[in-house]
Structure 1
Amino acid sequence: MNQAIFLDRDGVINEVLTSRVKFVNKPHQLYLLEGAAEAIAAFTDAGYDVYVVTNQGGVGLGFLKERELQRIHQRLHELVEEKGGKVREISYCPHKPKAGCECRKPNAGQLFDLARKYDIDLHRSVMVGDHERDIEAGKKAGCKTVFIGREETAADIQANSLFEAVNPILSLLAE
């Protein structure tokens, strides 16, 4: 079975609720956080598959069409690949925030689906997020967890940025 690194998108890889962008609804609004693409490149170089798992309630709420979301994700792939990294797949929940689906974090449906599809050992994998719902999803799936930010967290490890978390994540995966 394979190991994997699961990354939340907004707030871990790209800016959201900043002076430049409130929400990413168009490809040109996608600004990667400093060092995020380089972090993904480091994971790729270390031989790990990277997956993005993201709640995209704007689709269900009508603020964003799935076709536009696909264009945003294509841009994300391009920006990461420019730095030598690779995201194997981007999984998203398009449902409204209170839809009660299994794919919306803090539920772990996206992680379980990717694990089945790619033969991933969730207990030997890592979920990285900037909200406690990401950490909850990771724990429900049996993953080790990394919180990006300064708030209180139940995660195994905490860092200020994805780039800062590279070595701790690689250490978790080596355990």
Structure 2
Amino acid sequence: MKLLILDRDGTLNRSRDDYVASPDEWEALPGALEAVARLNQGGWRVVLVTNQSGIGRGLFDMASLNAIHAKMHRQLAAAGARVEAVFFCPHAPEDACACRKPAPGLFVQVGQRFGFDLSRVPAAGNAVRHVQAAAAAGCPTHLLTTGQSEALRARSGQQPDATSLSTLPPGTQVHDDLSAFADWLLAQPTD
């Protein structure tokens, strides 16, 4: 079994300046659901780790988050895809918890629940804090230049701005989006 950890907002679905606070606001990124389906077909089990501080800030509740994830799971299933589990941090930044990315707590929980050595579990997301948390947990890291990281692209083309990328953990690979990452991962030799 192969396990993969993905971020949610800006990786699988469109991110917003505020929060995805209702099912109506959850919109899959073009090609993302199909990328998860290809990964599943390639033998990858996919889990999500996501900061959801809107709960801690009182902007939406657990019922709303559950409804968002129900819509996400329905759309994934319609594309022939599956996400095994969603690990989330409901805390606000001032709570100083161990699970809010860039802390590695959610990744550690994934490793414990699935019984995996995280050094063999790739992690991909669009936010630098996701990549930092993954690296702190020992995962191989991948940054997608979608969502928050669209700003990392150089203005004169599609190549990421090297100065902006200097904050990434060493060894982080950069991909245009979830589909490009899936293509790369599926082309890697298997053990």
TM-score (norm 1): 0.91
- Higher mean alpha-carbon deviation, 141-150 vs 131-140, is at 141-150
Counterpart position of 1:14: 13
CA-CA distance at 1:157 after TM superposition: 1.2
Amino acid at match of 2:25: Q
Aligned AA for 1:162?
L
Cα 1:26–1:60 shift into 2, 3 Å: same
1:89 to 70, 85, 89: 85
1:40 counterpart = 2:36: yes
Amino acid at match of 2:21: N
Contact 2:2 2:43 in 1 (8 A): no
- Among 149, 168, 175, the alignment partner of 2:184 is 168
TM-score (norm 2): 0.84
1:157 maps to which of 139, 151, 173: 173
What is aligned with 1:68?
64
Runs of 4 or more above 6 Å deviation: none
Q: 1:16 to 1:159 in 2, by over 3 A?
A: same
Identity of aligned residues (%): 30
**Structure 1: runs of 5+ lacking an equivalent:** none
Specify the alignment match of 1:55 in structure 2: 51
Q: Secondary structure at the match of 1:98?
A: helix
Structure 1 residues 173 and 117, CA, compared in 2 at 3 Å: closer, same or farther?
farther
Structure 1 vs Structure 2 CA RMSD: 1.7
How many angstroms apart in 2 are the aligned matches of 1:173 and 1:97?
39
1:23 CA drift (Å): 2.5
Matched, 1:134 2:133: no
> Which residue of the partner structure matches residue 4 of structure 1?
3
Larger C-alpha radius of gyration, 1 or 2?
A: 2
- Partners of 1:93 and 1:84 in 2: CA distance: 27
